Amino acid sequence: MEVEEAFSLVGQMGPYQVYLCVLLAVLLQLYVATEAILIALVGATPSYHWDLQGLSANQSHGNHSVSEQRAFGEWLLSANGSEVHKHIRFGSSFTSIVSEWFLIGNASYKVSAASSFYFSGVFLGAISFGQLSDRFGRKKVYLTGFALDILFGIANGFSPSYEFFAVSQFLVGMMNGGMSLVAFVLLNECVGTAYWALAGSIGGLFFAVGIAQFALLGYFIRSWRTLAVVVNLEGAVVFLLSLFIPESPRWLYSQGRLNEAEDALYLIAKRNHKQKCTFSLKRPAERSSREAGSFMDLFRYRILLGRTLIMMFTWFVCSLVYYGLTLNVGDLGGSIYANLALSGLIEIPAYPICIYLINQKWFGRKRTLSAFLFLGGLACLIVMFLPKKRDTGMFAVVNSRSLSLLGKLAISAAFNIVYIYTSELYPTVIRNVGMGACSMFSRVGGIIAPFVPSLKSVQWSLPYIVFGAAGLLSGLLSLLLPETLNNPLLETIADLQECSYWRLGDEAMSLQGLDGSQSGDRDSSTGSGSEDEFYDADEETHMIK
């Protein structure tokens, strides 16, 4: 029998697969989340004092007049490193790389750069680890990447200089992004296909919980070096448990290693308490050849071109706004730990809400995605109309913090929808290529995101204007895409064009029916499906563009 039939015998979601979900979609995601937003606390700026000749002595950052602030800012931009070390005194509430290496003034960009290095590593890791796991196996690549992730993460906590920290951030991002992608594939290949969506949703949900967990750890561990090490000790526990999981039976089967695939399946059956389960795998049947999609096909066909450009921009915006708002929690006022925890917890209701809406005929994929992008963009834009400092009356509730959290909830829902929607927009022969191309632009958004909050130095609400304008524009563009709810998945590019003929033909026949009912002659309006051939599939692209 084939491997899919074997899963019906060993169990598609038995007790052991539930354990794998806990390990790879819960515990692992808690760790992955802490690495992804580590810089939110490790790169936070503690309060500091300065003592300069010509300025009032012992002034505190944020508690001085505008003229003193301007004079200090001008000095800070022109001062060399030794002068900054001599005159600046950081508070003792917590330590960070800012207080360690005096990353303020004209060196403050280095904090954003360190975060950008991390997401650059994620970009490279996601590309390379997928190919490596296809060649060498899921488990080997996952465990190797995980071990190096922990090693580089601990090295992060012992960084002797900023340059060492930045390089280790890149390496952590590469390992973290790569191994988490392989772990997701490994988990899906160990459960029945009916539970793939569930496994993915659990992972996304506990990524959000991981943000809140990291805020809690940061509250109790105020030393950035200790925090970086403790986070990776948590990862070491997950790594040790991962040593005993099986290799993907689906990957082994695809490689023709039938005996090893059977052993992996029998292990799953044994731990699912199905001792009497017996089966024998046969070699995969030779599949009929069909057209193979390439990256250039995304831009060669006008229908695919329109969909690809819109979805690339939407993925870019989702990542830009999601990580931008998360990393901006230090500028919202109040406790940075409470803000970060709320930033994670606010995502939790987004998952059930968006899953419910995208399956409703009156909302579907397209309208739900557009609505959440509009909501997120609008919440961010409203910030620019708020008074800069006013915490009384209505503004005690409607402020930059609450609107930022609303924007985070909306963009989290949009991010979840875009995974599902994108996979349904592309035919099977080019689906992986399309998902990969859109995911690449998502990583680009993550690389840029750390620098957007720095725009507050130009105008305090400018970061929110950028997030809001991007959200509204992507929400508008997404309305130009077709609805995919309850439509069959397309297999080939030819199916995509046939679907366009069918859709446009249906619209024309509906209009004919409407005209016929108004004239009282319904018979003449029914028409036949043969008229569909007169409709150009490229007309759909005009709607997209």
Per-residue pLDDT reduced to its tens digit, 458-496: 888 899 999 999 999 999 999 999 988 888 766 677 766
- Residues 6 or more apart whose CB falls under 8 angstroms from that of 352 comprise none
* Residues 41-78: tens digit of each pLDDT: 999 988 877 765 544 444 444 444 545 566 666 666 66
Q: Among 24-38, 280-294, 449-463, which range has the highest average pLDDT?
A: 24-38
Q: 513 pLDDT exceeds 50?
A: no
CB atoms within 10 A of CB 451: 17
- Pairwise CA distance, residues 191 & 14, whole Å: 9
User: Amino acid identity, residue 503?
Assistant: R
Torsion of CA 260, 266, 271, 275, to 10 degrees: -160
pLDDT at 315: 94
Across the strands, what pairs with 90? 48
Across the strands, what pairs with 325? none
Q: 541 pLDDT exceeds 70?
A: no
pLDDT at 293: 64
Tell me the percentage of the chain whose pLDDT exceeds 90. 40
* Residues 233-281: tens digit of each pLDDT: 989 999 999 999 999 888 888 888 888 888 888 888 888 888 777 777 7
Between the alpha carbon of residue 442 and those of residues 350, 365, 462, 500, the distances in Å are 19, 19, 22, 28
Q: 407 pLDDT exceeds 60?
A: yes
* Residues 217-232: tens digit of each pLDDT: 999 999 999 999 999 9
What is the DSSP code string of 97-164? HHHHHT--GGGTHHHHHHHHHHHHHHHHHHHHHHHHHHHH-HHHHHHHHHHHHHHHHHHHHT-SSHHH
Between the alpha carbon of residue 39 and those of residues 66, 114, 215, 340, 450, the distances in Å are 29, 8, 12, 12, 9
